[in-house]
Amino acid sequence: MPLISVIIPMRNAEPFAKAAVESALAQEDVELEVIVIDDGSTDRSADVVRSIGDPRIRVIAGPQKGISAAFNTGLAEARGEFLARCDADDLYPPRRLQWQLDFLLEHPEFAAISGAFTTVDARGKTIAEQKTAGAGDVTAELRGGRGRSHVCAYLFRTEPLRQLGGCREFFVTAEDVDLQLRLSEIGRVWYNPRPAYLYRLHDASITHVQKSNERAFFEKCAREFQQQRLTRGQDDLQLGNPPEVPKSKESGATSSRQQIQRILLGQAWAAHSAGQKGEGVKLGLRAWLTNPLRPSVWRSVIALILKQPQKA
């Protein structure tokens, strides 16, 4: 029997799915299964995954009701005592599951452990590594509505997730935020800043086809629901009174190039503020090359070149 079940929700991820699955299968010193939920793909995603030919892979048809329902399908099929998720366009770094599993085996009082994540571009080139505080118990932070990492950087005990009922289908996005916050109310969560996930930014990803204001609405709901549970025991969704999802005329989300550019500019100014002007300029020029037609980026890069870092 596998000790860890890795759930991979998948829909039209043909360019990336093979690498995602293989990054899970390549994890060393752990017994695992990979459950791929093919949630209505119209490309060759499922064929590509099956062609890997590893008996640890199971491809299961999804309900085609969104990411939450797809995840819950995998949760129902999972045979492992521990569980992790990987999106079909992302990657696990080597040995990530091994050190997370070691921690949970040594600390039965924790329901989950999270690591840091790294953003990469469509080709897998590093954009930014997450910079956070050191290791520690982050349960109180989560209960206060603050999460440090991506849900796919977690290794969970399977039973608490089943106790929660998995993800809630009301959340067509931000289901990951809601799940992390609810988990903190029934179990403790540890954070280790070691890299545990490679999060790929590209225009076909869920993040970049969803409307940005829709994501903001559901993230707000997740935090408001948590406060309701902590103050009165149940939230509006549990009481059958979900808020109405606002209708929007917005055409789409921010492009991956714009997001990458923002991340790189943020890194550039952080380096500049730390006295590393050369590194700041280098990152600023990289941001400019990502989308060179934006005048605001030109101005920012010029400021990085001309402005002297403040002395400590």
What residues does each domain of the chain span? 4-209, 256-306
State both tokens at 3.
Answer: 């000790």
Across the chain, what does the average pLDDT equal? Answer: 89
Task: Please check whether residue 209 is in contact with residue 198, taking contact to mean a CB–CB distance below 8 angstroms.
Answer: no
pTM of the model: 0.84
Q: What are residue 137's DSSP bridge partners?
A: 190
Architecture of the CATH domain 4-209? Alpha-Beta Complex (3.90)
Task: Please check whether residue 107 is in contact with residue 190, taking contact to mean a CB–CB distance below 8 angstroms.
Answer: yes
Return the C-alpha torsion angle 109, 111, 115, 117, nearest 10.
-170
Among 201, 176, 197, CA closest to 262: 201
Separation of alpha carbons 31 and 136, rounded Å = 27
Distance of CA 245 to the CA centre of its chain: 23
In tens, the pLDDT along 127-147 reads 878 777 789 999 999 999 999
Residue 297 CB burial class (10 angstroms; 0-12, 13-18, ≥19): buried
State both tokens at 276.
Answer: 């590393």
Separation of alpha carbons 136 and 110, rounded Å = 12
Q: Within a 13 Å sphere around the CA of 292, how many CA atoms are in the beta-carbon half? A: 3
pLDDT at 274: 75
In tens, the pLDDT along 57-115 reads 999 999 999 999 999 999 999 999 999 999 999 999 999 999 999 999 999 999 999 99
